[in-house]
Amino acid sequence: MLSLNNVTKSFSGVFEPVLKGINLSLKEGEFCTVVGANGSGKSTLLKIISGEYFADSGEIRRNGEVAQVVQDVNKGTIPAMTMLENIALSRMKTPRFAFYRRHATEAIANVRSLNIGLEKFIDQPLGILSGGQRQTVATLMALISGRKILLLDEHTSALDPKMQKELMEYTARSVRELQVTTLMITHNLEDAVKYGDRLIMMHKGRIVADIGGKEKSELKIQSLLEMFHRFENQSLMHEGGEKCPLT
């Protein structure tokens, strides 16, 4: 469904390549969480997969279209349009504005399934919602778009803890039901351990851990923290630095 073979990416003015020979393959319906320190290459990896960036070398194969939700709540939705219009556009292959009224009942049911009361805003401009509410709608739009690959770049980061938990539960449930192949970047180690079939850790442009199956189901947060410490300490030793506590 999705594979990357020896993918590299560099940027002008950056001393080291941001991605260094990434090899990754996901099966249809697989849900993979992605963790790593800032600057490890996580977001660049997703942008390479989505086509926002071009790889310098290597091969990328995508068996299906990509839907994406990013951390910036100002991307992915049109604030001046109503929630219903935004949802309708996410499901349209070509712009046909008569489409959305015919599917209003389905759209309202989709929003109601979030179980946070947003259906009452269905005919209101999306811009009146809070950033967290808009991010929730953007996630819903990506999930119901019909695309086979879903990329989530810290998609719950703008939400309060209660809504964050609710959206993660909704996301995980929908990914399972729809069998969407999913890569989710998160800095929330609890979510990284709890959700998904597989976890990869990135460090300085490389995949340094790939955990699935029984090992993933038994993974503990403490073990993940220890891996972070180990790779961070190895880098500091190589650079001649001193140990820095993980925050």
Residue 126 near residue 132, CB atoms below 8 Å: no
247 belongs to a structural domain: no
pLDDT confidence of residue 2: 94
Report the distance separating Cα 163 and Cα 176, nearest Å: 20
Report the distance separating Cα 194 and Cα 172, nearest Å: 10
211 belongs to a structural domain: yes
151 belongs to a structural domain: yes
Any idea what the CATH number is for the domain that residue 70 is in? 3.40.50.300
222 belongs to a structural domain: yes
223 belongs to a structural domain: yes
Mean pLDDT across 118-136: 89
Q: What share of the chain is helix, strand, coil (3-state, %, to 5)?
A: 40, 25, 35
Mean pLDDT across 221-243: 72
Q: Can you tell me whether residue 6 is helix, strand or coil?
A: strand
20 belongs to a structural domain: yes
175 belongs to a structural domain: yes
- Describe the strand order of the beta sheet including 57-62 as a list of residue ranges: 19-26, 2-9, 57-62
Quote the number of domains for the chain.
Answer: 1
For residue 79, the enclosing domain spans 2-239
Q: 70 pLDDT band (50/70/90 cuts)?
A: confident
pLDDT confidence of residue 239: 54
pLDDT confidence of residue 237: 53
pLDDT confidence of residue 100: 56
137 belongs to a structural domain: yes
pLDDT confidence of residue 179: 93
